[in-house]
Amino acid sequence: MSDTDGQDLSDRPSPSALAPLRHRAFAILWVATVASNVGTWMNDVGAGWLMTELAPSPATVALVQAATTLPVFLFALPAGALADITDRRRLLIRVNLGMALTAAAMTRLVAAGAMTASLLLVFTFLLGAGAAFVAPAWQAVVPGLVPRADLPSAVSLNSVGINVSRAIGPAVAGALIVALGLWAPFLVNALSFLGILVALGLWRGERAGGDRVPPETLVPAMLAGLRYACNSRALQRTLVRAAAFFLFASCYWAMLPLIARDVLGGGAELYGLLLGAVGAGAVSGAAALPIARRHLGADGMVAAGSVATALTLVAFALAPGHAVAVGAAAVGGLAWIAVLSSLQVSTQTALPDWVRARGLSLFLMVFSGTMALGSLVWGQVATATGITTALLIAAAGAIVAVPLSWRAKLTTGAAPDLGPAMHWPEPVWTLPGEAGDRRMAVHVTYVVKRADQTAFLAMMHELAMARRRNGGYAWSLMQDAADPERFVEAWSESSWTQHLRHHARVTGAERLLQEQVRALLAPGTAPDIRHLVAPAPEAETEQPTTESDGRA
């Protein structure tokens, strides 16, 4: 693998957690993203605190967090599809430019004293929508910027970058609000987008592929992403663990402005200090992540982070003073990065390149959806029962969620080979005219001795999921009533073009599974593969040609 600057990115082991920064493209984009995130966190502090002045009820203040995360839930899947089928560099430039203009308009309204609670939610929603289109594209380019051995460190560095900005942005925002006014953090956020636009201008972009098959359009690409997720157990398990954690962790993010103001009796400075402590805790904990991961594993990291998050919520509810609350916030930050980085690495290792942004967008949908839902729920609970009670209920839920979700194991150890295998020969077309979008089906015949049929059937169910992940549907496996050793596998594809995409998407791990199936066949036999296409309208009586290529 090589990055866009042309240097070789081998799979040699990473010497340190900072190893990804030795790759120029990653380093430039990472630094620019951290600077932009500083502005984003300053904007979030300003918006949260401004809402406590415009409409200070817990339910309304929690809507700020919901308006930030809900658009990610709504737009992440189309954003991921766009990132997989278009030029990611151009997409990032356009979206960041739009976010800069939105932040500038927000600054003008706040400075003029014309901002209302409704307008604040609208602008927050627009910036959240921009983040929804940026996040899948940015995360999807990371594996192309660093070698595979550096990928876990690169994912952790991204989380560290977010938390570095969280440590800096809120503290600076609190100081600026006191010194200059509530408009100041919004202005800094607008200016912060200039740095990332410059970095994207310096980046050459990803190396263009040599695909002979045209890219999917938006809606089919979205459906392909959903189809992949429905047939990937590794991705499903990660999404379950993410939902179980974020639903309860969302409580302290939604309630933090009110914890600072009403529970602790502080002001904007304390709110910024609490957010800064979360970031500082995450950054300080990042150095220990490789050691902790070796001892606990990904599942243990998520469980430990969930327990630590519950303790943080309890400490916020019962904190006797500011010092205890700041210490609890630091513990919460450490727990946050431990869980988030484990879930993100598990997601990345479950995805091949062709669907990476769409798979990551589904992770973001679960993250943002549960955060938005949690913000709404905990806001209502706090309104009905009080902030302290809401925090204690969320803490109990975080603990209970650990054993309930434990069976959903994360991807750990050596990652499967998800690179394209490219071992299938090109299917042969001998019919008159072009293939176009004619529907097709694939029939594969196997001969299996009775003693091997139990193992064969188990492997074929795994293979069925692979067929569906890569574009097949209506999969079936039938046994010949007259010859019990003869099985026929069949599935359909929407078009000949889609079948060519299927060829390009088969991974090394799926090739290994196919070889294991072939090893169970009767000696001297091989799969007999037939490609069947729907007759062309102008040649309805003409029989489709079938071809046998020996593999499927």
CATH number at residue 485: 3.30.70.100
For residue 546, being part of any structural domain is answered with no
Handedness of CA 401, 407, 412, 417 (dihedral sign): negative
Q: What is the pLDDT of residue 22?
A: 79
**What is the predicted pLDDT for the residue at 516?**
95
Query: What mean pLDDT is reported for the chain?
Result: 83
What is the CA angle 237-247-256, rounded to 5? 145
490 in helix, strand or coil? strand
Q: Are residues 74 and 176 in the same domain?
A: yes
| Residue 419, in any domain of the structure | no
Q: Is residue 120 part of a domain?
A: yes
Element spanning 105, H or E: helix 88-111
Is residue 247 within 8 Å of 401, Cβ to Cβ? yes
Residue-wise pLDDT for 406-449, tens only, equals 989 887 656 677 777 878 888 887 777 666 678 899 999 999 99
Question: Residue 528: pLDDT above 80?
Answer: yes
Can you give the C-alpha Rg of the chain in angstroms?
26
Is pLDDT larger for residue 401 or for residue 319?
401
Kindly state whether residues 400 and 473 are assigned to the same domain: no
Task: Report yes or no: 513 and 462 within 8 Å, Cβ to Cβ.
Answer: yes
* Range in 120-124, 264-268, 405-409 the model is least confident about: 264-268
Residue 552 resides in a domain: no
- Are 83 and 357 in contact by the 8 Å Cβ rule? The answer is yes
Burial of 528 (0-12, 13-18, 19+ CB in 10 A): middle
Does residue 6 register a pLDDT over 70?
no
Q: Which of 360, 380, 404 is the last residue of a domain?
A: 404
Say whether both 474 and 522 belong to one domain.
Answer: yes
Residue 163: what pLDDT? Answer: 66
Q: Phi and psi dihedrals of 320, rounded to 5?
A: -80, -10
On the question of pLDDT at 18 being above 90, the answer is no
Confidence of residue 545 (pLDDT cuts 50, 70, 90): very low
Q: With CA atoms as reference, report the closest residue to 167 among 44, 41, 53, 47.
A: 41
Phi/psi for 487 (5° steps) reads -120, 145
The 10s digit of each residue's pLDDT in 466-489 is 999 999 999 999 999 999 999 999
Same domain, 397 and 444: no
Question: Which amino acid is located at 96 in the chain?
Answer: N
Type of residue at 233: R
Residue 79: give the domain boundaries: 19-206+214-404
Q: Is residue 56 domain-shared with residue 104, that is, in the same domain?
A: yes
Do residues 157 and 74 both lie within one domain? yes
Q: Are 145 and 66 within one domain? A: yes
Give 41-68 pLDDT, tens digit per residue.
Answer: 788 888 877 887 888 777 777 778 778 7
Task: Let me know: does 489 contact 460? Beta carbons within 8 Å.
Answer: yes
The answer to the question of residue 432 being in a domain is: no
What proportion of the chain, given as a percentage, has pLDDT over 90? 32
Looking at the fold, whether 187 and 321 belong to one and the same domain comes out as yes
Mean pLDDT of 243-254: 89
Which domain-ending residue is among 404, 421, 456? 404
Same-domain check for residues 52 and 146: yes
Region 515-541: mean pLDDT is 85
Q: Do 314 and 369 belong together in one domain?
A: yes
| CA separation for the pair 189, 479 (Å, rounded) | 64
CATH assignment of the domain containing 235: 1.20.1250.20
Residues 71, 128: contact at Cβ < 8 Å? yes
The pLDDT of residue 208 is above 60: no
DSSP state of 437: T
- Model confidence at 211: pLDDT above 70: no
- What pLDDT sits at residue 33? 84
Q: Mind spelling out the 3-state secondary structure of 167-200?
A: HHHHHHHHHHHHHCCCCHHHHHHHHHHHHHHHHH
Q: Which of 380, 404, 428 is the last residue of a domain?
A: 404
pLDDT band of residue 203 (cuts 50, 70, 90) is confident
Domain assignment present for 421: no
- For residue 25, being part of any structural domain is answered with yes
pLDDT of residue 239: 94
pLDDT digits (tens, 9 = 90+) for 375-397: 888 888 988 998 899 999 999 99
Q: Give the pLDDT confidence score for residue 391 in this predicted structure.
A: 93
- Residue 177 confidence (pLDDT) above 70: yes
Q: How many domains in the chain?
A: 2
Contacts for 134 with CB less than 8 Å, ≥ 6 apart: 92, 95, 96, 99
**Shared-domain flag, residues 329 and 465:** no
Q: Are residues 139 and 30 in the same domain?
A: yes
Dihedral sign for Cα atoms in the order 273, 275, 279, 281:
positive
With 70 as the cut, is the pLDDT of residue 540 above it? Answer: no
- The answer to whether residue 319 sits within a structural domain is yes
Among 356-370, 443-457, 526-540, the range of highest mean pLDDT: 443-457
